[in-house]
Amino acid sequence: MCKLEVENLSVSFSHYDRGLRQQMVEVIHGLSLSIKAGQIVAVVGSSGSGKSLLAHAIMGILPGNAVMAGRICYGGETLNAQRQATLRGKEMALVPQSVNYLDPLMRVGQQVRIPGADQVQAAQQRNLFERYGLEPGVEQLYPFQLSGGMARRVLLSTATLSGASLIIADEPTPGLHHEAARETLLHFRELADEGRSILLITHDIESALTVADKVAVFYAGTTVEIAAAEDFAGHGERLRHPYSRALWNALPQNQFQPIPGAQPLPGQLPDGCVFAPRCPAASAECSEIKPDMRKLRGGMVRCIHAS
Ligand SMILES: Nc1ncnc2c1ncn2[C@@H]1O[C@H](COP(=O)(O)OP(=O)(O)OP(=O)(O)O)[C@@H](O)[C@H]1O
Ligand code: NI
């Protein structure tokens, strides 16, 4: 059974146009994704493709002007706002993308420790701090006294110490030294091997592949491919979607071939496939038909030509 299932999720924002008419702009559409217990699913894709919003939708912390549709299921149970509030920070934990999520008025030690923690939990926290290279004195500091990398390590400790069985890490490694970043990913792998589920949002595909089981590739507010981590190899021959292949081949260690053009903005999506305007394999049909996500070679793809 899946720990988390996201089915046909859409997220829209209402905003006012110049004539002060209220308009809805869809920023996530038709997004489906699942994670089993013990799995790490990496989410990759361009900036603005909807990765953080997916994380916020699952946690139930979308901004007030966002409208969500679709279904999010956790442990077989459909989530609503009330259930999300109960699970948040206990069953489901978020490592936020911004380090500004730390409470500026509370000492670090207090924020990380679960209220009413016993001696065993306090010892676990010290061990984790040591593992992440945080000196014991850090506990006594306030967030403004931390460097960006330290703050990120504190946020990671908070999420992992919560004992949550689903951890959503939104770009957990930028600002960390190579060693600390590697340690973080290895720690995620250990947690997954203990049966937890990790959704790892990242721009660092190469590092994510060293620990992830599956990769979901996002483009313009939806998934275009779900692949096994092993499919990212060579020149991307095993990948199913032209965007996944382009993303892979744009990496410096691969061909370093940038993709011409830009991701379409929310509210200005093309009629057909979202990637058609930049796709080297696009045909006339691609500009007319919106492809559905379909199964292919053990993964999923949103492209009529993929084989
Ligand atoms: N509060 C908001 N109101 C209106 N639009 C928003 C809001 N928050 C996000 N968006 C839009 O939703 C889209 C997806 O944003 P999101 O933060 O999920 O992207 P992302 O994939 O996490 O990008 P990055 O890799 O840069 O973190 C963007 O186009 C963004 O402008
Ligand atoms: Ni983001």
Average pLDDT value for residue range 216-227? 97
Q: Taking the mean position of all CA atoms in its chain, how far away is CA 186? A: 17
**Among the listed residues 37, 61, 33, the one whose alpha carbon sits nearest the alpha carbon of residue 201:** 33
Q: Whose CA is nearest to atom 12 of ligand 1?
A: 27
Residue 119 maps to a domain: no
Residue 96 maps to a domain: no
Residue 248 maps to a domain: yes
Q: Are 79 and 60 in contact (CB under 8 A)?
A: yes
Average pLDDT value for residue range 223-247? 97
Q: Are 54 and 48 in contact (CB under 8 A)?
A: no
Structure tokens at 215: 């990769």
Rg (CA), the chain: 20
Q: Which residues are within 8 A (CB) of 53 and not within 5 positions of it... i.e. 6 or more apart?
A: 11, 27, 28, 62, 66
Residue 244 maps to a domain: yes
SS3 259: coil
In angstroms, the CA 16 to CA 207 distance is: 41
Looking at the 3D structure of the chain, how many domains does it have? 1
* pLDDT given for residue 114 in this prediction: 67
Cβ–ligand 1 contact at 264 (below 6 Å): no
Q: Are 9 and 50 in contact (CB under 8 A)?
A: no
- Answer whether residue 116 shows pLDDT above 80: no
Cβ–ligand 1 contact at 50 (below 6 Å): yes
Q: Are 204 and 212 in contact (CB under 8 A)?
A: no
Q: Using one digit for the tens of pLDDT, what is the confidence trace for 239-279?
A: 999 999 999 999 988 888 888 899 999 989 999 999 999 99
Give the strand order in the sheet containing 22-36.
Answer: 22-36, 2-16, 66-74, 77-78
Count the Cβ atoms, other than its own, within 10 Å of residue 130.
Answer: 11
- Residue position matching structure tokens 């947690």: 191
Cβ–ligand 1 contact at 27 (below 6 Å): yes
Q: Which H or E element spans position 177?
A: none
Q: Using one digit for the tens of pLDDT, what is the confidence trace for 163-195?
A: 899 999 999 988 788 888 898 899 999 999 999
**Percent of the chain surpassing pLDDT 70:** 99
**Which ligand is located closest to the Cα atom of residue 95?**
2
**Among the listed residues 161, 98, 103, 111, the one whose alpha carbon sits nearest the alpha carbon of residue 132:** 161
Q: Are 130 and 163 in contact (CB under 8 A)?
A: no
**Dist. CA 215 → ligand 1 center (Å):** 20
Give the strand order in the sheet containing 214-219.
Answer: 92-95, 166-170, 197-201, 40-45, 214-219, 222-228, 299-301, 294-296
Integer CA distances (angstroms), 248 to 219, 222, 258, 277, 296, in order:
14, 18, 10, 19, 19
**Dist. CA 192 → ligand 2 center (Å):** 22
- Answer whether residue 115 shows pLDDT above 70: no
**Percent of the chain surpassing pLDDT 90:** 67
The secondary structure of residue 4, as a DSSP letter, is: E
Q: Are 302 and 226 in contact (CB under 8 A)?
A: no
pTM of the predicted protein model: 0.93
The residue whose CB lies within 8 Å of the most ligand 1 atoms, and thus the one to mutate among 10, 13, 23, 27, is 27
Q: How far apart are the first and last CA of the chain?
A: 28
In angstroms, the CA 150 to CA 71 distance is: 36
Please report, as a single letter, which amino acid is at residue 67: V
* pLDDT given for residue 292 in this prediction: 96
**Which ligand is located closest to the Cα atom of residue 217?**
1
Cβ–ligand 1 contact at 84 (below 6 Å): no
Residue 117 maps to a domain: no
The residue whose CB lies within 8 Å of the most ligand 1 atoms, and thus the one to mutate among 25, 31, 52, 54, is 52
- How would residue 225 be classed by pLDDT, with cut points 50, 70 and 90? very high
Query: Closest ligand 1 atom to the C-alpha of 63?
Result: 1
- How would residue 300 be classed by pLDDT, with cut points 50, 70 and 90? very high
Q: Using one digit for the tens of pLDDT, what is the confidence trace for 31-55?
A: 999 999 999 999 999 999 999 999 9
Domain encompassing residue 62:
2-15+23-91+164-301
* pLDDT given for residue 117 in this prediction: 67
In angstroms, the CA 140 to CA 143 distance is: 10
Cβ–ligand 1 contact at 49 (below 6 Å): yes
Residue 36 maps to a domain: yes
SS3 16: strand
Residue 278 maps to a domain: yes
CATH code of the domain covering residue 243: 3.40.50.300
Please report, as a single letter, which amino acid is at residue 75: G
Residue 265 maps to a domain: yes
Q: Whose CA is nearest to atom 27 of ligand 1?
A: 47
